[in-house]
Structure 1
């Protein structure tokens, strides 16, 4: 099944959020995360690294003992900061921040080499190794993030200063990589440039960028494997590959033949997002089918209830179906950000709300858990259970997650809606205003509500003239019994591919009122997930809940919920910035003595459970946490 027409996210400038749930997070992102990231990039030398290539232009090689020694991925962190800061300017014009971005862009432009190449590490530190190890190093990955930064910078400010730089760089790379005479049939070990080139194509309309992205995707996994050819060219034995398998970077078979999500989770998500974008641009049925197979594999076998993915630290990624440990869950924040990228594109490609359901799950849970309420402390891994020692940090040896969080939060408006010539789709419920053209007319759609704490959502229509078009409102899979009225009259809310669909002649003043029933609900894992056998998770709307030890009168491992007992929800305006908590009667095992083992089962005593959204865990003092709780059958 397909959507009636292709959909695209609205431009950053077309959406304004004024939402009670999201606005505090977006303000913390603007006021605290962006300055904190910039300060760290200054402190570690990532910004000063753009001055080092000036020495290289003069023929001076910078020794590794220099006071600033770039890391191979520093360029990507700077680029993501530029992208996030640029998006922030759309909703909060800030002359000082604008000037700060301009300064960084100027330094980047100054570091670009005469042939268009741009990478601080391989220009200043190891110029002889430039473009010799795409399997392990990050040149094309860095280039991709720089391209994405340039696209957002241009969309937000109208400036072309960084766009001109990345177009030169893209043309240089397109001359290096390809199947023509003198070119290398290579592609990146860490995917990212593919989706970046597609974004560059959409903003410039230049098919050379579409063609280059298509080349990278078509070449991936082809035989002979480029990474083996590349290793031989630099004098290495391909069998010495540290990861042991090209599944690690999804290069084991061509992309259209892939059936299982394998390897490094972030790389996989970036790859699949690009595949979905190209499938939409080309109408490529085989590429779309591959995306749908991979999606089914992930969501049926390997996705955490929180929207996290990649249980293993050893490969920062996937292991085997149904392997979902809780206390050792890696679930990298960047992977859930990438999942949201992929899900948004799949929802637009197929018109199916099931993809937007997962996008919402990732955004409201693992993405938000990755940053503190204050906006200046972060998680790389997002476990579903902790003994209280897993805490947020201000910086990391590989600080990819904080600027990734910053850019997705700053561009959240792109995820709320999707638009096409004769349709407006509402994917997320957040108080906001969309201004766009539909059916040849200017539309302002205003959304109001208190989601996710309450399920009553109101949308009002303003038009320059009456117009006939379709409004699609997502009905989440958990929302049983949703109701919808238009101008006070009930209309059919039965989901069509996950959306209530209303096609009519709309006029200014028309109003839609959607009600999504919100009650606490219990969720159980597939029996093959051995780590969750006998356990239950709690959800409320899009939010997954957890228990933190400081809210309970019993140890979390000793506490259990009797099956069938009712749970209640209550909004607490004083807790964690204002959250709805879930409460209910529970029982706890009682310690009967000092013996490590006993022939007698433990006795129990009644207690109460208080659960908070997983999105806000670890924002108080150190304390144990669990998502999956024991359940007692009475």
Structure 2
């Protein structure tokens, strides 16, 4: 079944008091720091060896391959972050450094177009023999994404040509034709990348190859079983086919399952494919899987993938432990991707609300405020002493790390934050409606029906105040609809156009639609009154029974030992207690803190571990900070969920 499923992505230039400093941090600190890490120039952290692997593969150095099988992708994501950064602001020195890295890739690429240093250096005669585990296509996907971003920013084709040569080679290798491999990647990524490459080059071959990988996944006989038997494996794969979402064809999948990052990249590609082909059955699959994620398997922070021991994966519905939460930073980033693509297919507030939740909380928490330290795992509760001893918390860290042997998350954060301008707006297929999804200070130029150019300048005081102002600029009056998202966290939004109140109460799908002939200088004001909110869990979310979380605007909050003392699980917040919001400009880069009065147990009279008498309770101040800013003041306890008295 086919239908028109289409929206046009537009890119905005961000000028925002909250996000512009973070994009500047990526440009001035994160990208240079990560370049040093890729070149093994950061002391006292796990080595990367990524650049050295390429130098060896190019015949310019002696040595052996070092790192994960997907080590190449760290450089590719770094290059993509550079591309997005250069699109925001040209930087000759940064561009020169990137060009040198691209030249190295060209020298390492094999004559037939293949480019993968792990296989080139360790088993050149074994290409494509372990698609389940070895990430060849995953790395190729990140190369393609980097190439598209760099070409769009600079107009330079060298990296794009490298990627096209590799994609053309992959197209010759995979498929159902004579001598081709009827396989697909164990870690999805190339599917969404190929669709980007198709949109950039107009070459339909790349879209068809993406559709092949999507459609072939999960069909019988199962390819991963076939290739495992060829390798002589006799033991079933530990995690099963569900781990890579290859247990069923996509249209038969109803539950988000397996490795969370793989799932998000795959679902993102499927949503893209639905948009390109108009295939409603693919979009229906995405809707089912979206509901499975956000209604039963997503943390309040927008983190997903609760289990380390199950392979960084989803588990059963409502299984969302806090102190052993895995919630890989890359998974939250993947959820942002998936939400964006669903918005492009059908603009509904629920997608933008989740995109915002994941962005402000699950993603931002993955990087320190100075841009030099990172979380791979993002728990919602930490007791440092237990983390140091308990085997089930082996993956949980209470301080961010300078780098990782598996360093997928740091450059992933960089490329998302650098490309943030692509997530704010879309237009519909007919260019009759401009949708504003995120409220971030910015300017964007959009072509509307009739070929007229409209520039929207947005001023936003989020996340600390809910005042939004958009000003329309155009040469001649033009008729179009401006659709403004009314966030789910705001209970009483107010809307004015040129000072006149507009009633947004009947907003369809969570968007207030302003349909009129606009003139240059028209001003739209959106007030989103903000107050501290208590979030209550679903009754089946056992881990959080009897607890509440706090939210202010799009920001989820947590308690830290630095503000509340130790033993945070003992604190209770009375249901009737008032919660005050206060901006503190000198704390954690400037944040709103939430304060209230709660209770804690008084110190016991004796040393007995158990008692027949209940402990007395004493009043105490409770102070909460944004979750994204935790662990920036030294080690200590942290919790998102608080017992409610």
- Whether the TM-score (by the shorter chain) exceeds 0.5 is yes
Q: What aligned pairs does 1:569-608 form with structure 2 within 5 A after superposition? A: 569-593=581-605, 594-608=607-621
Find the aligned partners of 2:616 and 2:559 in 1 and give their Cα distance: 22
Find the aligned partners of 1:8 and 1:576 in 2 and give their Cα distance: 37
The structural deviation recorded for 1:473 is 0.7
Task: Give the structure 1 partner of residue 325 of structure 2.
Answer: 329
Q: 2:270 aligns with which of 268, 275, 281?
A: 275
Task: Give the structure 1 partner of residue 373 of structure 2.
Answer: 377
Task: Give the structure 1 partner of residue 10 of structure 2.
Answer: 10
1:158 and 2:162 are equivalent in the alignment: no
Residues 219, 553 of structure 1: CA spacing in aligned structure 2 closer, same or farther, 3 A cutoff?
closer
Conserved 8 A contact 1:75-1:120: yes
Task: Give the structure 2 partner of residue 49 of structure 1.
Answer: 53
Task: Give the structure 1 partner of residue 642 of structure 2.
Answer: 629
Find the aligned partners of 2:556 and 2:66 in 1 and give their Cα distance: 42
Deviations 1:470-519 (A, max 9, x none): 11111111211111111111112122111111111111000100011200
Conserved 8 A contact 1:3-1:352: no
Task: Give the structure 1 partner of residue 45 of structure 2.
Answer: none
Q: 2:407 aligns with which of 399, 414, 421?
A: 399
Conserved 8 A contact 2:68-2:406: no
Residues 364, 260 of structure 1: CA spacing in aligned structure 2 closer, same or farther, 3 A cutoff?
same
Secondary structure of the residue aligned to 1:128 is coil
Deviations 1:377-406 (A, max 9, x none): 000000000114611001111000000000
1:479 and 2:475 are equivalent in the alignment: no
Q: 2:206 aligns with which of 209, 215, 239?
A: 209
Secondary structure of the residue aligned to 1:303 is coil
Q: What aligned pairs does 1:309-320 form with structure 2 within 5 A after superposition? A: 309-314=304-309, 315-320=311-316
Conserved 8 A contact 1:55-1:124: no
Find the aligned partners of 1:4 and 1:619 in 2 and give their Cα distance: 47
Number of equivalent positions: 619
Structure 2 segments unaligned to the other structure (5+ residues): 41-47, 385-396
1:168 and 2:151 are equivalent in the alignment: no
Task: Give the structure 2 partner of residue 470 of structure 1.
Answer: 481
Task: Give the structure 2 partner of residue 354 of structure 1.
Answer: 350
Residues 405, 26 of structure 1: CA spacing in aligned structure 2 closer, same or farther, 3 A cutoff?
same
Conserved 8 A contact 2:243-2:258: yes
1:620 and 2:630 are equivalent in the alignment: no
Find the aligned partners of 2:370 and 2:58 in 1 and give their Cα distance: 38
Find the aligned partners of 1:51 and 1:197 in 2 and give their Cα distance: 27
Conserved 8 A contact 1:553-1:608: no
Find the aligned partners of 1:236 and 1:587 in 2 and give their Cα distance: 58
Q: What aligned pairs does 1:411-426 form with structure 2 within 5 A after superposition? A: 411-420=419-428, 421-426=431-436
Conserved 8 A contact 2:184-2:217: yes
Secondary structure of the residue aligned to 1:228 is helix
Task: Give the structure 2 partner of residue 559 of structure 1.
Answer: 571
TM-score (norm 1): 0.95
The structural deviation recorded for 1:5 is 7.2
Deviations 1:17-41 (A, max 9, x none): 1111112221111111111111111
The structural deviation recorded for 1:219 is 0.1
Task: Give the structure 2 partner of residue 296 of structure 1.
Answer: 291
Secondary structure of the residue aligned to 1:83 is helix
Task: Give the structure 1 partner of residue 388 of structure 2.
Answer: none
Deviations 1:161-189 (A, max 9, x none): 11111111111101111011111110000
1:610 and 2:610 are equivalent in the alignment: no
Q: 2:223 aligns with which of 222, 226, 249?
A: 226
Secondary structure of the residue aligned to 2:58 is helix
Q: 1:387 aligns with which of 383, 396, 412?
A: 383
Q: 1:522 aligns with which of 528, 531, 534?
A: 534
The structural deviation recorded for 1:53 is 2.6
Find the aligned partners of 2:331 and 2:189 in 1 and give their Cα distance: 13
Give RMSD over aligned pairs.
1.6
Conserved 8 A contact 1:70-1:120: no
The structural deviation recorded for 1:70 is 5.1
Find the aligned partners of 1:184 and 1:368 in 2 and give their Cα distance: 40
Residues 208, 514 of structure 1: CA spacing in aligned structure 2 closer, same or farther, 3 A cutoff?
same
The structural deviation recorded for 1:204 is 1.3
Secondary structure of the residue aligned to 2:557 is strand
The structural deviation recorded for 1:528 is 1.0
Deviations 1:569-615 (A, max 9, x none): 11111110100111111111112221110011111111111100001
The structural deviation recorded for 1:125 is 1.9
Q: Which moved more, 1:549-558 or 1:365-374?
A: 549-558
Conserved 8 A contact 2:39-2:49: yes
